[in-house]
């Protein structure tokens, strides 16, 4: 299906008059964690494609597994526990690979295929990620996995940028030769295949830059720099962080940076995002965003010491459920007045994000920018609370198709990277984000006092839910 989708896309571009001869370099992004299994002998087909036929007709018989596992597959819990046990536990695996074992991560998916379908595994000569698979189609040969997308497999040592032997051995035999060596994300992996030169008119010198995952490509598209945060305020909320010295934890993910091989990015997901905000809006502001905003404006920073936790669906970061409200004396109370409830929700959501970001090694720097995207980024009063809690200016940025734009930026960077040019230099003429909020005077003192309180109360709720002594 994916191969045919590429055929259709290129045919549509050709029909619309797109001039392929002007393409100097290309890169791309694939959904993270998914894997493709090339059958023995597929590389010969890939290197000898006929320009007279579409790709999907020629590659039909090249795959040992026809239905690729993707990020939505969560059937590998047994393999996750096996992998963690093999390396000394979940924290040890996180320190090694940037994440504890997750069902969707590729190593655990490979382990399941080896255990349940050993014959198909033995007939596999190469395993690609979705990103390196797409790059292989353009290259006409197997493209290496890049460091950044490779960090989402539970297999790559993120510090040394090599496959972790203990993890490979725990997943499947002969895995290293099936994966091939990983490469820096800004690598030029080769020229475009002659198939594209002859069929579509690409220049023979067109360079293919290693493809990466959709989340790393989005970080490139948003042009994050050291110390910056991007926060997507959508159905669930996602935090992207630029890190220099990561401290891997049991929650969140640390990946190698897609734009600077010396640095890292972190990803934190919070399930109770806009759906929770909409629910409190309906309950406490008569379903009106303007009433919701008025409540934020009419209540003071720090909410008089009232703190709230609102998790109507089981939260990922941290793992808890339910609503919990606390008075300034840390007594749990059954309800807040409507305006206090609204501020408690928004402050609580952003305090949690800052606490868990700092748990992964993030620090707000004097030059930190927060880039806000997603539905709630259109609400200036919500963004004001974000600026106050983090003590940094908030900008809004149009990130429709940010993974796609980021891939174009990365292709451009790949052209220049041979000269050691930093990514920020390559994208300096791209459109600038718009300033939306700056921290209010006194915010730093208010939230410096609230952050440790919020963290302690979170621990208290977790301990109660697990039946542990506080």
Does the pLDDT at position 252 exceed 80? yes
Distance CA 156, CA 107 (A): 10
Q: What is the pLDDT of residue 398?
A: 75
- Please give the structure tokens belonging to residue 199: 């069929």
pLDDT, mean over the chain = 95
> Could you tell me the pTM of the whole model?
0.90
Q: What is the pLDDT of residue 319?
A: 86
Give tens-digit pLDDT for 141-197: 999 999 999 999 999 999 999 999 999 999 999 999 999 999 999 999 999 999 999
Q: What is the pLDDT of residue 402?
A: 86
What is the torsion angle, in degrees rounded to the nearest 10, for the CA atoms of residue 253, residue 267, residue 414 and residue 8? 100
Does the pLDDT at position 418 exceed 80? no
Distance CA 33, CA 161 (A): 17
Distance CA 108, CA 94 (A): 14
State the average pLDDT over residues 419-439: 92
**For residues 316 and 268, is the Cβ–Cβ distance under 8 A?**
no
Q: What is the pLDDT of residue 470?
A: 54
Give tens-digit pLDDT for 265-281: 999 999 999 999 999 99
State the average pLDDT over residues 62-88: 96
Q: How confident is the model at residue 234 (pLDDT cuts 50, 70, 90)?
A: confident
State the average pLDDT over residues 314-339: 95
Instruction: Please indicate whether residue 60 or residue 465 has the higher confidence score (pLDDT).
Output: 60
Distance CA 298, CA 61 (A): 65
Residue whose entry in the numeric block shows the structure tokens 């174009």: 408
Distance CA 136, CA 130 (A): 10
State the average pLDDT over residues 420-436: 92
Q: What is the pLDDT of residue 259?
A: 94
Does the pLDDT at position 89 exceed 60? yes
Domains and CATH numbers, the chain: 1-210 (3.30.420.40), 224-403+431-469 (3.30.420.40)
State the average pLDDT over residues 211-228: 92
Give tens-digit pLDDT for 363-411: 999 999 999 988 899 999 999 999 999 999 999 987 678 889 999 999 9
Q: What is the pLDDT of residue 469?
A: 61
Distance CA 350, CA 352 (A): 5
Does the pLDDT at position 29 exceed 90? yes
**For residues 303 and 344, is the Cβ–Cβ distance under 8 A?**
yes
State the average pLDDT over residues 420-426: 91
- Residue 160, classified by CB atoms within 10 Å of its CB into exposed (0-12), middle (13-18) or buried (19+), is exposed
State the average pLDDT over residues 249-257: 94
User: Which region among 24-38, 128-142, 375-389, 405-419 has the lowest average model confidence (pLDDT)?
Assistant: 405-419
Least Cα distance to 35 among 83, 69, 71, 74 occurs for 69
Instruction: Work out the percent of the chain whose per-residue pLDDT is above 90.
Output: 89
Give tens-digit pLDDT for 335-374: 999 999 999 999 999 999 999 999 999 999 999 999 998 8
Distance CA 426, CA 259 (A): 11
């Amino acid at each position: 299906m994916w191969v045919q989708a590429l055929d259709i896309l290129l045919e549509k571009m050709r029909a619309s008059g797109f001039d392929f001869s002007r393409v100097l370099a290309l890169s791309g992004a694939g959904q993270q964690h998914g894997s493709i299994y090339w059958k023995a002998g597929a590389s010969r087909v890939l290197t000898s494609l006929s320009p007279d036929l579409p790709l999907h007709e020629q590659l039909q018989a090249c795959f040992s597994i026809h239905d690729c596992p993707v990020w939505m597959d969560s059937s590998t819990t047994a393999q996750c526990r096996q992998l963690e046990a093999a390396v000394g536990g979940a924290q040890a695996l996180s320190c090694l690979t940037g994440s504890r074992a997750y069902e969707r991560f590729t190593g655990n998916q490979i382990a399941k295929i080896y255990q349940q379908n050993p014959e198909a595994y033995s007939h596999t000569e190469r395993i690609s990620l979705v990103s390196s698979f797409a790059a292989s189609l353009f290259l006409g040969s197997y493209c290496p996995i890049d460091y950044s997308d490779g960090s989402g497999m539970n297999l790559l040592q993120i510090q040394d940028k090599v496959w972790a032997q203990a993890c490979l051995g725990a997943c499947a035999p002969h895995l290293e030769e099936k994966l091939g060596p990983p490469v820096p994300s800004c690598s030029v992996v080769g020229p475009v295949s002659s198939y594209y030169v002859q069929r579509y008119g690409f220049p023979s010198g067109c360079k293919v830059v290693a493809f990466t995952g959709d989340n790393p490509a989005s970080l490139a598209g948003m042009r994050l720099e050291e110390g910056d945060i991007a926060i997507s305020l959508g159905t669930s909320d996602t935090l992207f962080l630029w890190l220099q010295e990561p401290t891997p934890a049991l929650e969140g993910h640390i990946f190698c940076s897609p734009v600077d091989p010396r640095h890292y990015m972190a990803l934190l997901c919070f399930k109770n995002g806009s759906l929770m905000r909409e629910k409190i809006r309906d309950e406490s502001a008569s379903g009106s965003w303007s009433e919701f905003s008025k409540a934020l404006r009419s209540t003071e920073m720090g909410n008089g010491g009232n703190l709230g936790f609102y998790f109507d669906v089981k939260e990922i970061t941290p793992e808890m459920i339910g609503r919990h409200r606390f008075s300034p004396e840390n007594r749990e109370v059954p309800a807040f007045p409507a305006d206090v409830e609204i501020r408690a929700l928004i402050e609580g959501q952003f305090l949690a994000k800052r606490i868990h970001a700092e748990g992964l090694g993030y620090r707000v720097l004097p030059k930190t920018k927060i880039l806000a995207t997603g539905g709630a980024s259109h609400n200036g009063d919500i963004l004001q609370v974000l600026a106050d809690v983090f003590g940094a200016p908030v900008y809004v940025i149009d990130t429709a198709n940010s993974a796609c734009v980021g891939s174009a930026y990365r292709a451009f960077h790949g052209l220049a990277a041979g000269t050691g040019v930093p990514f920020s230099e390559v994208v300096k003429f791209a459109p600038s984000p718009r300033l939306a909020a700056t921290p209010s005077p006194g915010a730093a003192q208010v939230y410096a006092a609230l952050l440790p309180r919020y963290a302690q109360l979170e621990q208290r709720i977790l301990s109660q839910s697990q039946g542990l002594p506080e």
